[in-house]
Amino acid sequence: ALKPASPPTTPNPDSKLPPATASGERMNATFVTLARNEDLWEILKSIRSVEDRFNRKFNYDWVFLNDKEFNDEFKKMTSAIVSGKTKYGLIPTEHWSYPDFIDQKRAAAVRQEMKEKQIIYGDSESYRHMCRYESGFFFRHPLLLDYEWYWRVEPSVKFFCDINYDTFKFMAENKKKYSFTLSLHEYEATIPTLWDSVKNFTKMYPQHIVEGNSLKFISDDEGKTYNNCHFWSNFEIGNLNWLRSQAYLDFFELLDQAGGFFYERWGDAPVHSIAAALMLKKEELHFFNDIAYYHVPFTHCPTGEKFRIDHKCTCQSTDNFDWKGYSCTSKFYEINGLPRPEGYENEQD
Ligand code: GDP
Ligand code: MN
């Protein structure tokens, strides 16, 4: 005779959605994706990967944001595979346009110059609006005001190992505010004066710089210069209330006024990272070593075969970027006094 399957531990309140299998309470958390309609087929692959490895067990919501209206096909296809509720938000024009203090002719001249120098995305206007939006506005979108925690997901990313626990709950229980899987050095040419603005910020708002921070992660000379290390922001699990704090808002406002999002090509990764390194305690940052992740062209694959077997991983340890020369993760280990995992030597360049 057939044996009945055991009932799900936590039936999903919306009967159209599949049941979650992980028992217990959920955090006030959501996935968040900034995307264009034409990103549909690549974001579907990312969502499938997140669902298979994590979210089918937890059924967290997913918020999609766009500077244009999402079309019906985008909504239909994404809502079909997200196991939680899906929400679709239009970005207000004020958050995706030039502030009045920006000289648009100067910005256009910079794009031309950077194009000739072949700086990555140097000639792109939309990329700059995107970086500024991710730096200063996504967490203030009305759809995100309802949440405390977010997990950012981009098109074309992959997750390689099972995640069997609630990462949001982990963040809360361990008093974490910001996290990463990959870290690396930023291209100097995209941020020539970013550190000058950071120094202005620390002078103007000394009260926002916390004791026991991670200055050593971003500067090798006690703050004189930036070493270009940053957490890669295409993956983030973080606390939205921190980004909405006066400290972070003052930081963003000062950077925005300096004009570097348009007169240079400041990325949201160094912006978030510098903020996290200066305005959070060391202990509030977390390296998710157990979240195996790929965003072109880098992979984080946990060192150690036993872990990869136990979590049904599909990544190859030789692809792991952590211990290679261009990564900053070994610096993160160093400043936090973390012991390197056994076998890391085999994964260096
Ligand atoms: P990269 O990872 O730095 O190469 O940049 P991506 O092309 O992946 O863009 C980063 C994120 O912003 C992704 O989630 C994109 O889908 C999204 N994005 C980039 N440009 C735009 C845009 O012009 N409009 C919208 N709505 N999303 C964008
Ligand atoms: Mn990307």
User: How confident is the model over 206-230, as pLDDT tens digits?
Assistant: 999 999 999 999 999 999 999 999 9
The closest of 314, 271, 334 to 52, measured between CA atoms, is 314
Active-site annotation holder among 51, 134, 236, 264: 236
Indicate if ligand 1 lies below 6 Å from the C-beta of 67: yes
Atom of ligand 1 nearest to the CA of 67: 26
Q: Which residues, including other chains, have CB under 8 Å from residue 309's CB and lie 6 or more apart?
A: none
pLDDT, mean of residues 184-200 = 98
Label residue 349 by pLDDT band (50, 70, 90): confident
Judged by its nearest atom, the ligand closest to the C-alpha of residue 91 is 1
Label residue 298 by pLDDT band (50, 70, 90): very high
Give the pLDDT confidence score for residue 114 in this predicted structure: 98
pLDDT, mean of residues 251-279 = 98
Best residue for ligand 1 mutational test, from 154, 235, 266, 268 (most atoms within 8 Å of Cβ): 154
Indicate if ligand 1 lies below 6 Å from the C-beta of 39: yes
305: annotated active-site residue? no
ipTM higher than threshold 0.90 = yes
Indicate if ligand 1 lies below 6 Å from the C-beta of 190: no
Q: 58 vs 24, 114, 237, CA distance in Å?
A: 9, 44, 15
Give the pLDDT confidence score for residue 14 in this predicted structure: 55
* Cα–ligand 2 centroid distance for 28 (angstroms): 26
Residue nearest to atom 26 of ligand 1 (CA): 66
3-state secondary structure of 155: coil
196, 257 Cβ separation under 8 angstroms: no
136, 286 Cβ separation under 8 angstroms: no
User: How confident is the model over 18-74, as pLDDT tens digits?
Assistant: 678 888 999 999 999 999 999 999 999 999 999 999 999 999 999 999 999 999 999
* Cα–ligand 1 centroid distance for 18 (angstroms): 30
Indicate if ligand 1 lies below 6 Å from the C-beta of 95: no
Best residue for ligand 1 mutational test, from 33, 34, 42, 120 (most atoms within 8 Å of Cβ): 34
Judged by its nearest atom, the ligand closest to the C-alpha of residue 131 is 1
Atom of ligand 1 nearest to the CA of 153: 14
Per DSSP, helices labelled H in 117-220 are 125-136, 167-173, 194-204, 215-218
Residue nearest to atom 18 of ligand 1 (CA): 35
- Token readout for 281 is 């305690």
pTM of the complete model = 0.95
